[in-house]
Amino acid sequence: MTTRRDLILGGGAVLLAGASARAEAVLSEDGLYREPWFVESFLEIGDDLDQAAKRGKRFAVMWELRGCPYCRETHLVNLARPDIAAFVREHFDVLQLNVVGSRKVTDFDGSELGEKQLAARYGVRFTPTIQFFPTSAAGLKDKEPAKREVTRITGYLRPDDFLAMFRYVQEQAYETRTFRDFLRSSGG
């Protein structure tokens, strides 16, 4: 089945002549650094999660703010590491939102809110914040927003811990242990 995203992105297959394996983050007009592989979205997060699941990926929302030094560090240090970028890109669809933005986003329950209001709804107060959601949107509309995500990163994590968190989510280790226990058991 062809989705709206497939129509816009040409089925998701984009070839860049002469492009390196690791594309650089770009400072966008809204003052946020953007990875070229971040999700292009109609800002319907239930649909974004379902599309990620169909591709065998997890879905994450990365909240940022113009001028945030830790957001910049996340892009120019953490995501600049080829091993981190490759892992995140292979296993996750990441939607970037602006914590004070005004674009309209449709939440899992059908509510349409501006980015700023959605951030408040989810208790996002610091940047960067990365929310990780379950493997399916089923039942999320009936849960209160605080119970919809499986875990989150609040603030900046050092590169190795950042990668470990994405592994923690991808392996669904949050079902059996804390992130701290995961780090200990993986030698992190």
pTM of the model: 0.86
Range 58-80 average pLDDT: 97
Residue 178 covered by a domain: no
Residue 63 covered by a domain: yes
CA separation (Å) from 104 to 14, 64, 94, 119? Answer: 27, 16, 17, 12
Domain of residue 82: give its range: 26-157
Residue 69 covered by a domain: yes
As for how many domains the chain has, the answer is: 1
**Residue-level pLDDT at 23:** 61
Q: How many CB atoms lie within 10 A of CB 94?
A: 21
Residue 174 covered by a domain: no
Is residue 24 very low, low, confident or very high in pLDDT (cuts 50, 70, 90)? confident
Residue 13 covered by a domain: no
Residue 31 covered by a domain: yes
Is residue 1 very low, low, confident or very high in pLDDT (cuts 50, 70, 90)? very low
Identify the CATH number of the domain in which residue 46 sits.
Answer: 3.40.30.10
pLDDT at 92 over 50: yes
Residue 182 covered by a domain: no
Range 168-182 average pLDDT: 96
Q: How many CB atoms lie within 10 A of CB 75?
A: 21
Residue 105 covered by a domain: yes
**Residue-level pLDDT at 186:** 81
